[in-house]
């Protein structure tokens, strides 16, 4: 599932392939992925490609093409259309293919940056500790749902939330505002480190994820708790436990991450 490191990798691999290119035609095959017409992008030039949390923002000479990969979305330059192709962008040089089997992704064209992007909290990989600590201390809810809340912090999803909490030795149900400065600092460090390491390895490829060149990431082999239910904790050999938190599968070590 594309989270911050995967989206960052897509943006980095996409950039050299599309910046300066002119969009000559667009074909949207899914009303679910593209609920509004995308015709406005035709004739526009791609100025830059930016990441806003998990959103990909193609800044055009007029307006913005905003793409969210959802769970199974891929955006590939110079690829061939397949059975799950939901949108095709014909460029003056090359083509951009959006594939998405489960259609949880969204493509939107607007003259202004869409509200869903404006509402995003600070970037999980960029937020300074003092700001993180201040925001955290004001919250009474559980830490995991809070980290998943894109208005609180942008970019974390289920995988990296579980991995960061494990590294920081914090229970997913711990109350955010009661973590204390020491544990908050551990958590902030863990978030920044796990995201940085994942970006270095091109993200995690669990099922569908590939970058704009079609290459899979390799960070999944470094996962310590996510998808390791029942396997021994890499630190203490206690079996990794899976519980449900806010309707999400949550993986943690019951010994390293005490309540």
What residues act catalytically?
2-3, 54, 248
Q: Can residue 202 be called a binding residue for DNA (CB under 7 A)?
A: no
Q: Which stretch binds DNA (CB under 7 A): 11-19, 66-74, 124-132, 180-188?
A: 66-74
With 0-12 CB in 10 A as exposed, 13-18 as middle and 19+ as buried, what is 40? middle
- Our CA dihedral for 227, 231, 233, 237, rounded to 10 degrees, sits at 180
Considering the complex, what minimum distance in angstroms separates the CB of residue 17 from DNA? 24
Going by C-alpha positions, the residue among 68, 162, 62 that lies closest to residue 107 is 68
Q: Can residue 70 be called a binding residue for DNA (CB under 7 A)?
A: yes
Q: Can residue 68 be called a binding residue for DNA (CB under 7 A)?
A: yes
Q: Return the number of the residue (26 or 69) whose C-beta is nearest DNA.
A: 69
The token pair that represents 200 in the structure block: 């270095």
Q: Which stretch binds DNA (CB under 7 A): 20-28, 38-46, 87-95, 244-252?
A: 244-252
Q: Can residue 51 be called a binding residue for DNA (CB under 7 A)?
A: no
Q: Return the number of the residue (80 or 207) whose C-beta is nearest DNA.
A: 207
Alpha-carbon 166 to chain mean position: 19
Q: Which stretch binds DNA (CB under 7 A): 11-19, 98-106, 190-198, 211-219?
A: 98-106
- Contact residues for 210 (Cβ-Cβ < 8 A; gap 6+): 74, 76, 216
Q: Which stretch binds DNA (CB under 7 A): 14-22, 95-103, 192-200, 215-223?
A: 95-103
Q: Return the number of the residue (54 or 167) whose C-beta is nearest DNA.
A: 54
Per DSSP, 239 falls in state B
Considering the complex, what minimum distance in angstroms separates the CB of residue 10 from DNA? 14
Alpha-carbon 205 to chain mean position: 12
Q: Which of residues 129-188 bind DNA (CB under 7 A)?
A: 139-142, 145-146, 148, 150, 157-159, 177
Q: Any idea which residue has 């989270």 for tokens?
A: 3
Q: What is the DSSP string of 68-103?
A: E-TTT-EEEETPPP-TTEEEEEEESSSEEEEE-TT-
Alpha-carbon 24 to chain mean position: 29
> Cα(163)–Cα(258) distance, rounded to whole angstroms?
15
Q: Return the number of the residue (17 or 171) whose C-beta is nearest DNA.
A: 171
Considering the complex, what minimum distance in angstroms separates the CB of residue 229 from DNA? 9
Considering the complex, what minimum distance in angstroms separates the CB of residue 92 from DNA? 31
The token pair that represents 163 in the structure block: 């991995």
Residues in contact with DNA by CB under 7 A are 1, 3, 32, 53-54, 68, 70-72, 84, 101-104, 116, 119, 139-142, 145-146, 148, 150, 157-159, 177, 207, 246-249
């Amino acid at each position: 599932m594309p989270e911050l490191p995967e989206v960052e990798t897509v943006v980095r691999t996409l950039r050299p392939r599309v910046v300066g290119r002119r969009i000559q035609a667009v074909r949207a095959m899914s009303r679910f992925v593209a609920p509004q017409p995308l015709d406005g992008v035709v004739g526009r030039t791609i100025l830059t490609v930016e990441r806003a949390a998990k959103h990909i923002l193609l800044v055009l000479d007029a307006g913005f093409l905003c793409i969210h990969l959802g769970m199974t979305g891929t955006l590939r330059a110079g690829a061939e259309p397949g059975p799950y192709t939901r949108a095709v962008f014909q460029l003056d040089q090359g083509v951009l293919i959006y594939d998405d089997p489960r259609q949880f992704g969204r493509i939107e064209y607007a003259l202004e940056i869409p509200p869903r992007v404006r509402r995003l909290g600070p970037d999980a990989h960029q937020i300074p500790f003092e700001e993180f600590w201040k925001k955290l201390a004001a919250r009474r809810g559980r830490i995991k749902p809070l980290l998943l809340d894109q208005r609180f912090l942008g970019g974390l999803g289920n995988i990296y939330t579980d991995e960061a909490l494990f590294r920081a030795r914090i229970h997913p149900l711990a109350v955010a505002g009661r973590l204390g400065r020491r544990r908050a600092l551990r958590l902030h460090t863990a978030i920044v480190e796990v995201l940085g390491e994942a970006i270095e390895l091109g993200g995690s490829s669990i099922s569908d994820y590939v970058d704009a060149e079609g290459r899979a990431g390799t960070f999944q082999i470094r996962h310590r708790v996510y998808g390791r239910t029942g396997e021994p904790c890499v630190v203490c050999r206690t079996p990794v436990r899976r519980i449900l938190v806010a309707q999400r599968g949550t993986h943690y070590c019951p010994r390293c991450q005490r309540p």
